[in-house]
């Protein structure tokens, strides 16, 4: 279904293309000025040499009329002419080399600008049509579940990640707290955007898999607990009974996925002596991506998940722009450092109420999700 490009995207794209044009024009003008100055200097040098030779010839003209000195002067003139010719050749050769270098620099700038522009225009076309039909990051959870062929209404990416952690990662220190390797996570994002049923590659660090779960949840347009029920769920956090009844009003997809995620967190907390992550610590890390208000959306996580560009698809759904496009629109030097960790204080007030809710769901998981098909791992 067609989507309307946001004004923010239009402004960013227009700004980049305008900036690229200015930079290319400046590069051409700079190269032209550079070549002009080199040519001017060379002409000046040639004129100076020619003037010196002319002065010498003029001052010695009388000697030229005397047979006794004619041969000696001729030899000196020949030598001067040869020297002048050498200087001219060197000057022109140097000018030619510098012109070639200047031209190469202009071509390099033009090539880079054209390449980035082409990528951006491809993304514009893609986002005008919508997100590719295989994407899972940034796509409403209901859409992802509808696309897949799985017996439970839970995104397959979460199931595969959870299975991997249960088998080989529960003892890993600081699961869901360590932010993981950005490059590895970007590769996993690209993998699952192309194939939502893919298995986690063997040998992947469990910390990266846990971080991928966080980034997926942060990419959802709406939290699992929904914006509508935020205040009610938060207000009922002191009562298991009230919380259970309110959660029943969630859609089947949201309810089952919330049960699945908190069941996984419960399993992680049961290994807290090894992984250093008890229910409270897990709640602190996961609450911002599971339960948030509209004005406190976990946007800062988005710069650490990176939806790779793929060919546009005919089948699509409307969704916000990913960070790859914004990175390409950024000026040089603004790219995010892959090695830098997520700041502990991003300026967003800590939602202690949401933390208490998630802690409650983890510690009293079985008592709250009584009518769900309880998630059980071997």
Counts for the chain of helices (H) and strands (E), in that order? 15, 0
For all residues of the chain together, what is the average pLDDT? 74
Q: Is 314 helix (H, G, I), strand (E, B) or coil?
A: coil
Q: Which residues, other chains included, contact 264 with Cβ-Cβ below 8 Å and sequence gap of 6+?
A: 162, 165, 166, 213, 375
- Among all chains, which residue has been given the structure tokens 């990528």? 119
Q: Are 296 and 353 in contact (CB under 8 A)?
A: no
pLDDT, tens digit, 9 for 90 and up, residues 298-343: 775 655 544 443 433 333 333 333 444 334 334 444 444 433 334 4
> How many CA atoms lie within 13 Å of 194's alpha carbon, on the beta-carbon side?
11
Residue 237 and residue 243 in contact, taking contact as beta carbons nearer than 8 Å: yes
- Identify the band that residue 196 occupies on the pLDDT scale cut at 50, 70 and 90: confident
Domain assignment present for 200: yes
Q: Residue 127 and residue 329: Cα distance in Å, rounded?
A: 15
Is 217 part of any domain? Answer: yes
Asked whether residue 284 is domain-assigned, the answer is: yes
Map residue 173 onto helix, strand or coil. coil
How many domains does the chain divide into? 1
Helices (H), 173-229: 182-194, 206-219
**Residue 309: helix, strand or coil by DSSP?**
coil
| CA gap 291, 297 in Å, rounded | 9
Residue 26 lies in a domain: no
| CATH code where residue 301 lies | 1.10.555.10
Print the domain residue range for 220.
Answer: 141-306+350-369
In a domain, 16, yes or no: no
Inside any domain, residue 48: no
Spell out the residues 6+ positions from residue 58 whose beta carbon is closer than 8 angstroms to its own.
Answer: none
Q: Is residue 116 domain-resident?
A: no
| Residue 348: per-residue pLDDT | 62
Look at residue 326 and tell me if it is in a domain. no
- SS3 call for 339: coil
Q: State the residue for tokens 């919380």.
A: 243
pLDDT at 28: 60
- What is the model's pTM? 0.58
């Amino acid at each position: 279904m067609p989507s309307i490009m946001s004004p923010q995207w239009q402004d960013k794209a227009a700004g980049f293309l305008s900036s690229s044009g200015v930079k290319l024009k400046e590069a051409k003008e700079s190269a032209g000025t550079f070549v002009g100055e080199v040519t001017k200097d060379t002409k000046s040098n040639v004129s100076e040499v020619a003037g010196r030779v002319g002065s010498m010839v003029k001052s010695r003209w009388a000697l030229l009329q005397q047979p006794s000195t004619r041969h000696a002067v001729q030899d000196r003139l020949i030598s001067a002419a040869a020297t002048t010719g050498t200087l001219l050749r060197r000057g022109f050769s140097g000018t030619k080399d510098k012109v070639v270098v200047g031209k190469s620099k202009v071509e390099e700038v033009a090539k880079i600008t054209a390449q980035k522009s082409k990528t951006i225009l491809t993304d514009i076309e893609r986002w005008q049509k919508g997100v590719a039909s295989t994407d899972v990051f940034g796509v409403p959870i209901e859409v992802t579940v509808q696309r897949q062929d799985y017996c439970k209404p839970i995104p397959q990416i979460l199931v595969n990640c959870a299975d991997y952690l249960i088998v080989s990662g529960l003892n890993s220190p600081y699961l869901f707290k360590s932010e993981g390797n950005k490059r590895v996570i970007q590769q996993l994002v690209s993998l699952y955007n192309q194939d939502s049923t893919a298995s986690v590659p063997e040998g992947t660090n469990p910390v990266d898999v846990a971080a991928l779960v966080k980034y997926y949840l942060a990419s959802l347009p709406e939290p699992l607990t929904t914006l509508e029920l935020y205040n009610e769920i938060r207000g009922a956090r002191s009562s298991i009974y009230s919380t259970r009844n309110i959660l029943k009003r969630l859609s089947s997809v949201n309810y089952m996925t919330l049960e699945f995620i908190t069941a996984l967190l419960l399993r992680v907390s049961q290994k807290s002596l090894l992984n250093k992550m008890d229910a409270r610590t897990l709640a602190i890390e996961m609450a911002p991506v599971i339960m948030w208000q509209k004005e406190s959306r976990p946007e800062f996580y988005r710069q650490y998940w990176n939806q790779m560009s793929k060919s546009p698809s005919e089948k699509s759904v409307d969704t916000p722009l990913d960070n790859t496009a914004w990175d390409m629109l950024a000026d040089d030097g603004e790219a995010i450092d892959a090695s830098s960790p997520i700041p502990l204080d991003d300026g967003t007030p800590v939602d202690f109420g949401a933390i208490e809710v998630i802690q409650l769901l983890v510690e009293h998981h079985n008592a709250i999700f009584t009518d769900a098909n309880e998630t059980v791992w071997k």
